Structure 1
Amino acid sequence: MPAEGARAGAATRGTQHAGQTPERPTRRFPRITRDTARPEGGGRAASGASPAPARQWPLLVVLGGVALGLLLTSLDVFRWGTLLIGAALLAGAVMRWILPSVGMLAVRSRFTDIATYGILGLAIVLLTMMAQPKPWIEIPFLKDTLHFTLNGR
C-alpha cells in the first residue's frame, strides 16, 4: 500500500494546471537519459546520402594527421612527427571555428573545442620546437626556471 500512495503523491505533484509548465516530481536525474543535446555544429559535415567516412571528413583529417605523425615519430623522425601531430590539432581547431558543421569533431561547445584543440596543438608545436638537441627556438625564462628548480637556489 505505501508504494501506491507514493505513486499517487508523485502523480499529484507532477500534474500541471492550465498555462503552467509541468513540475518534476523529484530533483533526481532520470536513470535513463532520452534526450541528450548534440553539441553545436555536431551535425553531418556532408549530406546524408554520402557514405559514412565522407560525412565525417573533418574528424578523419585530424585523425589521419595524428596517425601519420605517430608513424613518423615511430620511424625515428621525432621532430617532424610531433610537429605534424600538433599541426593536426591546430587544423581541428581552425575547422571547428570556420565550418558550420564538423560531425564528430564537435565534442563540447564550440568555444571549448576550439580552446582545447588550439591549446593542445600549440603546446605540442612549441614543445617540439624546443626539444633537444639543437632546439629550433629557445625561450630564455624557461631555461632559467629549469636551472632554478634543479639547483634549488
Structure 2
Amino acid sequence: MSPPQPPPLPAPGRRPSTLGGMVYLLVVAATAVGVLVVALGPWRRGVMLIGVALLVGAVLRTVLPENEAGMLRVRRSRWIDLLMLAGVGGALIVLSVVIPDQPG
C-alpha cells in the first residue's frame, strides 16, 4: 500500500479564477491610484477615488454569487462584507467633502 498522494497543484496562471477576484484586483488598483493622487496631488480627489472604489466593491460583492465572489468574500456573511466596504467607502467620501480647506 503506497502513501496517499497530495492533491495536484493548480496550473500556474496570472489571472484570477473568479470574477470576484478580478473585481478585487480592480478595487485594489483604484485604491493604489487614489493613494498616489493623495500623495502627489489634490488629496480630496484621491480620497474620493478610494471611497468610490470601495463602494463599487460593495455593490459587486452584493451582486456576485458566493462561488464567484473570490477575494471579495472576506467574512462568512455577504452582508457583513457589504456593510464594511460600503461603510468605509461612504465615510471616506463624506470626509473628503466635509473637511474644510486649510488656509495655505
Same fold (TM over 0.5): yes
> In 1, Cα distance between the equivalents of 2:92 and 2:13?
33
Q: 1:98 to 1:119 in 2, by over 3 A?
A: same
Cα-to-partner distance string for 1:91-141 (whole Å, 9 max, x where unaligned): 11001001112211110010100000001100000000112218xxxxxxx
Question: Aligned with 2:16: secondary structure?
Answer: helix
2:13 counterpart (25, 37, 51): 51
Aligned twin of 1:106: 73
Deviations 1:3-37 (A, max 9, x none): xxxxxxxxxxxxxxxxxxxxxxxxxxxxxxxxxxx
In our comparison, the structure showing a higher alpha carbon Rg is 1
Give distance in 2, aligned partners of 1:62 and 1:82. Answer: 13
Aligned partner of 1:119 in structure 2 is 87
Q: What's 1:67 paired with? A: 32
Q: What is the TM-score normalised by the length of structure 1? A: 0.52
1:1-153 aligned within 5 A: 51-55=13-17, 56-100=21-65, 101-108=68-75, 109-133=77-101
- In structure 2, the gaps of 5 or more residues are 1-9
**Amino acid across the alignment from 2:81:** D
Give how far 1:50 is off: 9.3
Equivalenced residues, count: 87
Counterpart-to-counterpart distance in 2, 1:50 and 1:122: 37
Structure number with the bigger relative contact order (C-alpha 8 A, sep ≥ 6) is: 2
Cα drift, residue 58 of structure 1: 1.3
Other structure's SS at 2:15 match: helix
Structure 1: how far apart are the matches of 2:83 and 2:70? 18
